[in-house]
A and B are shown apart, each in its own frame.
Chain A
Amino acid sequence: MPRRSMSSTSSGAVASARRPNFLAVMFGAGLLLFAGGLGMVVADAQARIDAAESAISFTAEEREYFGGDIETTVESVRLGALFSSMYTGADVSKYEVEVEDARDGSSSTSIYPVTYRVILALNQGWHATPVTLPAFAGLALTVGALFLGAARWHRRAVRRSRN
C-alpha cells in the first residue's frame, strides 16, 4: 500500500509541476498590464505635450504686433492648453490669433481655441480617463492575485517527536 500511494503521489507531483501556477500567471499578468498601462499614460502625456507645442503659431505680422512679450504669451497659451486638456480630458486645443484694426487706427487682438473634440468633464478636477484604466486594471489584478494567495496559503505547524 505505501508503494502504491508513493507512486500516485509522484505522478500527481509531476502533473502539478507541469501545470502552470495560476497565482504566478495572474500576478505576472497584472504586473505586465500595470507596466503597459503606465507606458500608455506616459505616451499619452508625451503626445499631449507635443500637441501643446503646436497649439499656437504666430505669423510675422502678429509677432511684430506682440513685440517682445511674444514668447511669454506663447508659453502661457501652451501651458493653458496643456493643463486645460489635462483637467477636462479633452484633446489639446488649437488656438487662433486674430488681429483686428479698428477704424480709429487702433487694433485689438484675440486668441481663442478652435478645436474641442472630446470633453470628459466640464468641471476642472480629477477624473478617471480611459488611458489610465489599463494600469488600474493591472494593479487590481496584482492585488487580487495576492489576496488569492493569502486565502490559499496556510502555515502548518508540525510538532515532531523529540526522540
Chain B
Amino acid sequence: MGDAREFDPRYSPEFQRGYEPASRELPREQRELQELRAERLSRPRIAPMPVASVSPVVDTAGGQSNPADGLTADPLDEPDERNDADEESEAPLWRNPYLITLAILGVVLTVGGVTLFRWSVDQVYTGQYMTGTQADARQDWLWVQVAWGLAPLLAIAGALTVLGIFFFLATKWSPRRRDDDASTVDEFDE
C-alpha cells in the first residue's frame, strides 16, 4: 500500500489512497510534477507589463544602430505580451454608429411621414392643387398621391424603428460600470 510507484502520476499523491507523508520518499518524476504544479500556481495569471522599450537606439560610436539592441524581451513573445497587456472593455451603447443612424432615421421617418401626410391632406381638401398651370397641377397631383400612399407607411416605419431602439437598449442594458477612458478600436466580432 505504501509503495509510491502505485500512485497515479496525474493527481497529487496527498489525495490518493496509501499516502504517508512522513514515512515515504516520492519518486523523482512525481517530485518534478509537484514542483511544476507549485510553480504554476505561484505564477500570476496576468503577465506583467513589458518593460522593454521599442524606441530606436542611437549608436553614439558612429556605427550602425541595431534596433534589437534595445530590446530585452523576446520578439516572438511580443504579440502574446501585447495581448495580455491590452485590456478590453465594452464601450457605451451611445457610441454605436448603427444605433445613432437608427435613432436619427426613426425620428426623421416619424416626423417626416406625419408632416408629409398632413401636407397631402391639406392639398386635397384645401384645393391648393388647382392653382397654377396645367403642368404644375399634374405634378401636384402626382406628388399628392405619392405622399398620400407612402407617408403613413414612413411614419409607421419610423415609430417601429424608435420602438426597436428602446427594445435593443433594454436587452443590452446591464448594471455594470463601463470603463472607457482608453483609446478605442471599432470592429465586428466575426
Task: Please indicate the chain B residues that have their CB under 8 angstroms from the CB of A41 in the complex.
Answer: 145-146, 149-150
Q: Is A113 an interface residue (CB 8 A)?
A: no
| Pair B182/A161 contact, Cβ less than 8 Å | no
Smallest CB separation, A53 vs chain B (Å): 9
**Which listed residue (A46, A139, A147, A161) contacts B168, Cβ 8 A?**
A147
Task: Using C-beta atoms within 8 Å of the partner chain, give the interface range for chain A.
Answer: 35 or more
Main secondary structure of the interface of A (DSSP, over half): helix
Q: A residues 118-163 with Cβ under 8 Å of B?
A: 126, 128-129, 131-132, 135-136, 139-140, 143, 146-147, 149-161, 163
Given contacts A146-B102, A163-B51, A49 and B142 within 8 Å (CB-CB): yes
Contact A156 B148, beta carbon cutoff 8 Å: no
Q: Is A16 an interface residue (CB 8 A)?
A: yes
Known pairs A42-B142, A158-B185; list 17 more (Cβ under 8 Å): A38-B146, A45-B145, A49-B142, A79-B141, A86-B145, A128-B153, A132-B153, A139-B109, A147-B164, A150-B168, A155-B95, A157-B88, A158-B184, A159-B86, A159-B87, A159-B182, A161-B49
Instruction: Decide: B157 and A156 in contact? CB cutoff 8 A.
Output: no
The size class of the interface chain B forms with chain A is: 35 or more
Interface residues of B in 130-150 (CB under 8 A from A): 130, 138, 141-143, 145-146, 148-150
Select one of A16, A46, A49, A153 contacting B98, CB under 8 A: A153
